[in-house]
Structure 1
Amino acid sequence: MASKDLAIGMIFLLQTTFGMLGNLSFFYHYIFLSFTGCRLRSTDLIVKHLLVANSLVLLCKGIPQTMAAFDLKDVFNDFVCKVVFYLHRVGRGVSIGTTCLLSIFQAIMISPRNVRWAELKFKAPKYTVFSLFLCWIIYIAVNIIFPVHISGRQNTKNITNLKNFGYCASVHHDKISDSLYAVLLSVPDALCLGLMLWASGSMVYILYRHKQRVQYIHRNNVSPRSSPESRAAQNILLLVSTFVTFYTLSSIFQIFLALLNNPSWWLVNTTALLASCFPALSPFVLMCRDASVFRFHSTK
């Protein structure tokens, strides 16, 4: 085994372990709150689905990449490759969609209490379950033809027009079909990204205006700590910047991976690492934003 394969295998293993511990710990926190009878917020259900989607991404990307780096590729036959790639794509899509939903619902909840927003504030929690169900259905349907392009390496020995991912391979079709399929996959992601940026920008603007209105209260506060509005805005920006940074980088590398017929070892592994960065880090960002997590652990 080459030293570079050992190094990348350890990186994938640490990333997957670190991310799974974060997602499972946060999920356990919500399970504990449910059993103790605590009232959960409407956004907590969205966060739980985000944690499930993140775990799906980490399991279906991190574990296969780790096994491939350690030269344990025999288990990846044609069926396993199709299932693993499909579940990863669904998990990735739902992770994007639920992050978008989280931002939109938070923007609605902190919106001004005027006539225009009052009805939406009242109805939004009722549509949480439907929105999550629709999110799963959309990405399950959009990615249903994804396994057609994936095959086990042992089944592609006589095929020259393929792209090697280490443990599985992608078979190329005609460029028009590949381009149309790439657009089909990108439209929901681009829509979610745009909505999330709009919702997060709206939250920052609302919090800024609220801070301006109550500035005279904070002016009399001699504490060096920043105001609650500023801390909330910083937390929103932290989550959004984490999402946008890693998914933008991941998308760029995915484009290069799709355009090159024979991608390098470095490009394949870097793309896989970036694809799992947000699922691995987001639970820790969410825990930093959720004060109830620290109250829960401090009272145990």
Structure 2
Amino acid sequence: MPSEEFIRGMLYLSLTVVGIPGNTAIILAFVSVLHWDNRLLAADVIVLHLAFVNLLVVTMRCLLETLASFRLVDIFSEAGCKGVIFIYRTARSLSIWLTFVLSAYQCLSIAPPGSRWSSLRTSLARYLWVVFLTLWLVNTCMSSAAALFSLGAKNVSMSANHGINVQFCFVSFPSKLSKEANGAAQVGRDVVPMVLMTLASLIILIFLYKHSQQVKGLRGSSGGRHGGGRGSERRAAKAVVALVTLYVVLYGVDNGLWVYTLTVRKTMSNSLISDLRIFFSSLYSALSPLVIIASNRKVNGRLRCAVQVKTIEEQATTPATV
């Protein structure tokens, strides 16, 4: 096996062993919460949906890239490429938009009770299924073009015009205009939620700063402890800011490489750019579960409970020694 394929396989394997267990743990934790509490809050539903699409991203790209790099499976035929690219791009864009929805909802959650923004949060929670349905429909339609023109590596000439190398597959557009139009649509689809979620995170940071100043003033004047009623919202807000920061850094690199791919010639043979793009675009889906598990008390509590139950069961089944 060439060293380049081995390194690629190890990189994708590292994302796989982190991303699949992490996202699966979040999904199982919220299923457990739903089973015992018979309901999920709107923020929980958004995080659960985000973990599901992140699991799709890691599975469809990182796991399959790992298997293909180590030559364990050959799934990248023409039909396989169309399916992988379609599901991956749909899940990837949904991951971006759901991160924005989560940041927007958390931004509304820290609004004062009874305000116009607070009522907007209630409306968003009530019609959250409409938001999910709209995002699925829009992103599915936008991902269909690349899947339509995708080809297996064995079925395309390296000299084909208007093509984009996506490692084991190629996307060969019929014209330069269609390639640039599709590329511009994808960049816009990523940049718009990035700007919106950055704005929401700035609002959250401003609120957290003002709140900390108010708490310091109250403590200085009365010597007591204040402001404990909405601690959970502030912790969740900090976690959302961390997720948005992670997104902006990783997808900023990804979109920069994507623009480079669209603007330079002979990118069909540039597999390094393809590897870097796929790696950075998948890195968020693999690392974001770590942020969620560390910051979400429901997920953390359910996982701790599961570990404790398993430990007790193992101790109960272990024979006693004299």
Normalised TM-score (structure 1)? 0.89
Aligned equivalents of 2:234 and 2:116: distance in 1? 25
Kept after mapping to 2: 8 A contact 1:164/1:170 = yes
Aligned equivalents of 1:271 and 1:293: distance in 2? 30
* Aligned residue pair count: 296
For residue 232 of structure 1, report the CA deviation from its aligned partner.
5.7
Aligned equivalents of 1:29 and 1:73: distance in 2? 32
Aligned equivalents of 2:180 and 2:155: distance in 1? 24
Indicate the larger mover: 82-91 or 254-263. Answer: 254-263
Larger-Rg structure: 2
Residue in structure 2 matched with residue 149 of structure 1 by the alignment: 149
Superposition pairs of residues 185-224 of structure 1, within 5 angstroms: 185-219=186-220, 220=223
Q: Is 1:248 matched up with 2:252?
A: yes
Q: For residues 241-260 of structure 1, give each alpha carbon's deviation from its aligned partner in whole angstroms, at most 9, with x where no partner exists.
A: 11110110111112223334
Normalised TM-score (structure 2)? 0.83
**Unpaired segments of 5 or more residues in structure 1?**
none
Kept after mapping to 1: 8 A contact 2:145/2:182 = no
Per the alignment, in what secondary structure is the counterpart of residue 112 of structure 1? coil
Q: For residues 81-102 of structure 1, give each alpha carbon's deviation from its aligned partner in whole angstroms, at most 9, with x where no partner exists.
A: 0110011100001000100000
For residue 73 of structure 1, report the CA deviation from its aligned partner.
6.7
Residue in structure 2 matched with residue 100 of structure 1 by the alignment: 100
For residue 240 of structure 1, report the CA deviation from its aligned partner.
1.6
Residue in structure 1 matched with residue 178 of structure 2 by the alignment: 177
Kept after mapping to 2: 8 A contact 1:204/1:236 = no
> Aligned-residue CA RMSD in angstroms?
2.4
Indicate the larger mover: 136-145 or 119-128. Answer: 119-128
Q: Is 1:296 matched up with 2:302?
A: yes
Superposition pairs of residues 39-78 of structure 1, within 5 angstroms: 39-71=39-71, 74-78=74-78
For residue 230 of structure 1, report the CA deviation from its aligned partner.
7.5
For residue 221 of structure 1, report the CA deviation from its aligned partner.
6.2
Aligned equivalents of 2:180 and 2:69: distance in 1? 30
Aligned equivalents of 1:133 and 1:214: distance in 2? 41
Kept after mapping to 2: 8 A contact 1:10/1:66 = yes
Residue in structure 2 matched with residue 2 of structure 1 by the alignment: 2
Indicate the larger mover: 236-245 or 90-99. Answer: 236-245
Indicate the larger mover: 24-33 or 63-72. Answer: 63-72
Aligned amino acid, residue 252 of structure 1: G
Kept after mapping to 1: 8 A contact 2:102/2:240 = no
Indicate the larger mover: 106-115 or 233-242. Answer: 233-242
For residue 2 of structure 1, report the CA deviation from its aligned partner.
1.1
Q: Runs (4+) of structure 1 moved beyond 6 Å?
A: none
Aligned amino acid, residue 263 of structure 2: L
Kept after mapping to 1: 8 A contact 2:93/2:190 = yes
Aligned equivalents of 1:181 and 1:164: distance in 2? 15
Kept after mapping to 2: 8 A contact 1:111/1:206 = no
Residue in structure 1 matched with residue 314 of structure 2 by the alignment: none
